[in-house]
Each structure stands twice: as structure tokens, then as C-alpha cells.
Amino acid sequence: MHTPVCNITRELLKYRNVIESKFKTVFDSIFYELKPEITAITEISDRQIKHIALLLTPVQLLQNNLELPFDYSTYKQSVIENTIKQNEMASTIRDVTIFWEAIAFKLSQPKSEIKVNTDYLKDPVNKNLFIKFPLLFPYYKEYVKKNGLNDLDANSLKSLLTSKGNTSFIQNTTQKSRDKAINKKPLGSCYRFKYEDIPEGIGIIINDVELNL
């Protein structure tokens, strides 16, 4: 008894010679067609474009030989959109991580200027960290400049930190606020994030970054 997977594999093997003889030519053609099309709308590496071409090549080669549940154009658009979405998510995570790394670096300095009840407040019971973003942003700018990293303006970084894609950010559901801030004494308007305690250590972890708080 053959399983559906076995049947698919057996069907594909019928076209092995076609794939082996034409794969590189079709792959190269798709890659050079995709590159200007995708780079015109987003920043993406050649490696990622080659990955897209790798997924598209077998479909283009066999679309006239097999009954596929989709057409090549639809499949192509779906793969491109998914790759761009994943790329944007990765970029968001990277920029958020850099922000917390900047704060972690500042806290590690002998005379850190980051002060409790002024710049941040920690709630150890609920494992929440409240921060005054405008007061911490200059430390981020200082850090990225020192390390030669691409920086974001305050509004862009704040949008990433408080986006639904950032799993550490706690959305404001109880107070009306256009920019997702909450009011917390003694900080006033601030943003709230969930953290984990460092196991058997002093400090917390946010977005996989350890902070000495």
C-alpha cells in the first residue's frame, strides 16, 4: 500500500531528468528576474532571493507536467510576500534587541546614569518593567554610534518596541492613550514590558537580553 507521500515522490521521480538537466538554467533565470523586482520594494539579501528562486524553480519546471493546486504566479507571489514578512519580523526583533543591549551596556558602566524611579521602575511581583523611553533613547543613540550600527529615530524605535510583534511589550488595555503608554507613579507616562528573572542570578531578561536591574 502506497502512502500519498510515496505517490508524490514516485510521480516526481518521473521528471528527474528534466529537473537535473534544466534546474540550474531555470534557477539562474528566476534569480535574475526576481532580484530587481524584490529589491525595488524592500531590502533583502541575495541569499534570501536565491532561497525564493530555489522554491520557485521546481514549480516552474513541472507546472505543465503536474496538476498543481495553484498556478505559478500565485505561488510566486505567496513565497515573496512570506519572505518579506519574515524579513521584516527579523528586522524588528534585531532592532528591539539592540535597544535592550544598549540599556544593558549603560547599566554595566561603573557610574550608570540610569536611575530607578526616574528612568525605570521594576515590579518583581508581576515581573513587569516600566521605562521612560524618552530618557533612555539617548543611551541607544550613543550605543549604536559607538558600535557602528544602523540607528532608528525615536518614533520608529518606539513603534517597534510597542508593536504587537514584540512579545515582551504589554499592551495598554485599561487606560486611554494614543501611543500605548500608561501612567505609573512615580514615572508618569511610561511603557510596560514583561521580563524573566535570571536563574540563580541578579537581574532580569527581556527579549533575550540580560539587564542588571
pLDDT, residue 209, reads 93
Do 96 and 165 sit in the same domain of this protein?
yes
Let me know whether 105 and 199 are in one domain: yes
* pLDDT for res 21: 86
What's the confidence (pLDDT) of residue 1? 45
Give how far Cα 163 sits from Cα of 101, 155, 160, 173, 195, Å.
Answer: 18, 12, 5, 14, 16
* 112 and 180 fall within a common domain: yes
Residue 43: give the domain boundaries. Answer: 4-69
Distance CA 87, CA 93 (A): 10
Number of domains in the chain: 2
pLDDT at 200: 76
Does residue 107 sit within a domain? Answer: yes
Same domain membership, residue 110 and residue 63? no
For residue 160, is it within any domain? Answer: yes
pLDDT on residue 5: 41
Q: Give the pLDDT score at 2.
A: 46
Per-residue pLDDT at 193: 97
Query: Are residues 101 and 203 located together in one domain of the fold?
Result: yes
Q: Answer yes or no: is 110 within a domain.
A: yes
Is residue 78, in this structure, part of any structural domain at all? no
In this structure, are 62 and 120 located in the same domain? Answer: no
Backbone angles phi, psi at 179, to 5 degrees: -110, 25
Q: What is the pLDDT along the chain (213 residues), one digit of tens a residue?
A: 444 445 555 666 677 787 888 899 999 999 999 999 998 887 788 888 999 999 999 889 888 887 778 889 999 999 998 888 887 777 678 899 999 999 999 999 888 899 999 999 999 999 999 999 999 999 999 999 999 988 889 998 998 899 887 889 998 877 565 668 999 999 999 999 999 999 877 899 999 999 998
Domain assignment present for residue 134? The answer is yes
Determine the residue type at 76.
Answer: K
Q: Are residues 64 and 113 in the same domain?
A: no
**Given phi > 0 = left and psi -120 to 50 = alpha, else beta, which region is 123?**
beta
Together in a domain, 54 and 117: no
Q: How far is CA 149 from CA 83, 95, 137, 140, 197, in A?
A: 24, 10, 15, 10, 28
